[in-house]
Amino acid sequence: MSMKTYGVALALGSVLAIANQLVIGRAFDVAACAPCMALLLGGPVLLALLVAAAIVATVPAAPAPAAIAAPPARPADPPEHAALRLLATLQEEGRLVDFFTEDITPYSDEQIGAATRGIHESCRKALRLAVTVEPVMLGEEGATVTVPAGFDPAAIRLVGAVSGTPPFTGVLRHAGWRATSVNLPKRSGHDPEVIAPAEVEIS
């Protein structure tokens, strides 16, 4: 805007200076008067530039473009939602919640064993797809192992007659499990507290 205004003013001032030279210069002999020539030629140009500067100073500056706000970050799911998603997967594949909430007292051991086999296989498959696990300690259960100094109490739990300071030598009763990867299915658009929907058959 400012450069264009100055350019137009300079052009108009130049035209007016030439007009002064043609009209006033022919009517009066100003060629011998250097100050007169400077006033006739430079005056209009200087005046036009001053007017242009005044115009530019009164024109408000263009507002800076508004910054585009970044979309708000999607809040992370609470930890309990991940546990509910895993439970929902085990229910969907192996009806694990049905099994644990049902009173199995009236059933015989043979009936429970037959039902458990199918639940075990389905839940085992679902768990392998959702979570990859590995033993915390290598070795067969019942083998003699050494617990080094500086061990993680959250990963290795000492039981029995524990005294003194590590390293400890003992019998491995359970190798423990550590998750190495988690791939829980997303349930977008679902109430996270609904582990399994009710089913209604319409006839």
Per-domain residue ranges of the chain: 2-58, 79-157+177-182
Q: Does residue 49 surpass a pLDDT of 60?
A: no
Say which residue the tokens 């990963």 belong to.
Answer: 155
Residue 32 has pLDDT above 70, yes or no: no
Distance of CA 139 to the CA centre of its chain: 41
User: Is the Cα dihedral 139, 144, 146, 152 positive or negative?
Assistant: positive
Flag the least confident range among 24-38, 128-142, 164-178: 24-38
pLDDT above 70: percentage of residues in the chain: 65
Crossing angle between the packed helical segments 2-27 and 34-58, to the nearest 10 degrees: 150
pLDDT at 52: 53
In terms of pTM, does the model score above 0.75?
A: no
2, 56 Cβ separation under 8 angstroms: yes
Q: Which residue has the higher pLDDT, 164 or 35?
A: 164
CB 165, CB 149: distance < 8 Å:
yes
C-beta atoms surrounding 55 within 10 Å: 15
Report the C-alpha gap between 40 and 16 in whole angstroms: 9
Instruction: For residues 116-122, give the mean pLDDT.
Output: 91
